[in-house]
Amino acid sequence: DWTMAEFRATKIAEIRAQVGTSRVICGLSGGVDSSVAALLIHEAIGHQLTCVFVDHGLLRAGEAEQVVSLFRGHYNIPLVHVEAETLFMNGLAGITDPEAKRKFIGKTFIDVFEAEAKKIGGADFLAQGTLYPDVIESVSFTGGPSVTIKSHHNVGGLPDRMDMKLVEPLRELFKDEVRDLGRELGLPDVFVGRHPFPGPGLAIRIPGEVTKGRCDILRKADAIYLEEIRAAGLYDAIWQAFAVLLPVRSVGVMGDGRTYDYVLALRAVTSTDGMTAEAFSFPGDFLPRVATRIVNEVRGINRVTYDYTSKPPGTIEWE
Ligand code: XMP
């Protein structure tokens, strides 16, 4: 008879056995997975853990502030907040290939970590919130030949030069189980219930080149979409909802003038583990209302579309 309370106790013992008296650095992404991993490890080894939150400038509106206040304010867990937006934006300039973006972001993340690890005196272990679906999806596509669909930013191990071992206490869990564990650990409900957010962040929601300007446009539109979803009481019925900024311009008309601006795609899916998904059916007047708000309130977008593709054959993210 397996419960989350038992899982928690077992993992705490395992983490203590694995880590001993060594120091651990945990990378926070702002999402549920890395937050739950950090809380669990903190419970196991207390001050031996330092969290490092690399703000790559690819987060949603308000996310960095929420992470910092939760960890420093609510839990009083040592947290290093690295503001690395410029580094990431400069490096992303000119990159349009999805895998190249993922690889650049993953590698740069590790570079920043390595530098921070050195600054705080080093650590033997790096903790990550890798889940079971991350492990299998980055290895092969179920049933098919061994093809990499997407290089997940939080799996794949570390470059040898880093000389750090991995602590991944959530590797056997699916998302709903991580949420149960989060509740078990006292993580606030709004945080536990958050939709998944990918490590490479908004970069994989902007097909084509990623720039700060495009990220800012996408952040505004995404915030309006999520605000409306919450206001309609639909947030918890949806596995994941987000906007995608397409690098395509279309002609529109506003007032007396012609516009020539970006197209936005809205996505919302239901799923139990992220491995398969169905497009969410919104009530009739919801999407037109959101489209009107976004076009009126976000400069740079003059057309909004909805993505009805299920997974498979689509993936949840666009890249
Ligand atoms: P896809 O797009 O492959 O996404 O259908 C499945 C789930 O995984 C999330 N995702 C990621 N999460 N690092 C993550 O931590 C990543 O690199 C990554 N790529 C996709 C995606 O948001 C969805 O929940």
Return d(Cα 50, Cα 47) in angstroms, integer. Answer: 7
199 lines ligand 1 (CB under 6 A): yes
103 lines ligand 1 (CB under 6 A): no
152 lines ligand 1 (CB under 6 A): yes
Which ligand 1 atom is nearest residue 314's CA?
A: 5
Query: Was 31 annotated as part of a binding site?
Result: yes
| 230 contacts: CB under 8 Å, gap ≥ 6 | none
CATH fold group of domain 4-192 = Rossmann fold (3.40.50)
213-231: pLDDT as tens digits: 999 999 999 999 999 999 9
pTM (2 decimals)?
0.89
Query: Was 69 annotated as part of a binding site?
Result: no
| 253 contacts: CB under 8 Å, gap ≥ 6 | 259
- 57: phi then psi, degrees, rounded to nearest 5: 75, 10
Nearest CA owner, ligand 1 atom 3: 315
Q: How far is the CA of 69 from the centre of ligand 1 (A)?
A: 25
Residues (pLDDT < 50) of the chain are 140-145, 155-157
So what's the pLDDT on residue 142?
42
| 93 contacts: CB under 8 Å, gap ≥ 6 | 209, 211
**Reduced 3-state DSSP string for 75-124:** CCCCEEEEECHHHHHHHHCCCCCHHHHHHHHHHHHHHHHHHHHHHCCCCC
Count the residues in the chain: 319
182-216: pLDDT as tens digits: 999 999 888 899 998 998 999 999 999 999 999 99
Q: How far is the CA of 272 from the centre of ligand 1 (A)?
A: 13
240 lines ligand 1 (CB under 6 A): yes
Return d(Cα 56, Cα 109) in angstroms, integer. Answer: 8
Query: Was 94 annotated as part of a binding site?
Result: no
So what's the pLDDT on residue 161?
59
106 lines ligand 1 (CB under 6 A): no
CATH code of the domain made up of 211-306: 3.30.300.10
Do the Cβ atoms of 15 and 40 come closer than 8 Å? yes
So what's the pLDDT on residue 158?
55
Return d(Cα 245, Cα 253) in angstroms, integer. Answer: 19
57 lines ligand 1 (CB under 6 A): no
Q: What does the domain layout of the chain look like in residue ranges? A: 4-192, 211-306
Look-up of token digits 């590797």: 171
109-135: pLDDT as tens digits: 889 988 988 898 888 999 989 999 888
So what's the pLDDT on residue 145?
47
Return d(Cα 178, Cα 204) in angstroms, integer. Answer: 24
Return d(Cα 222, Cα 130) in angstroms, integer. Answer: 25
98 lines ligand 1 (CB under 6 A): no
Nearest CA owner, ligand 1 atom 7: 274
Do the Cβ atoms of 40 and 51 come closer than 8 Å? no
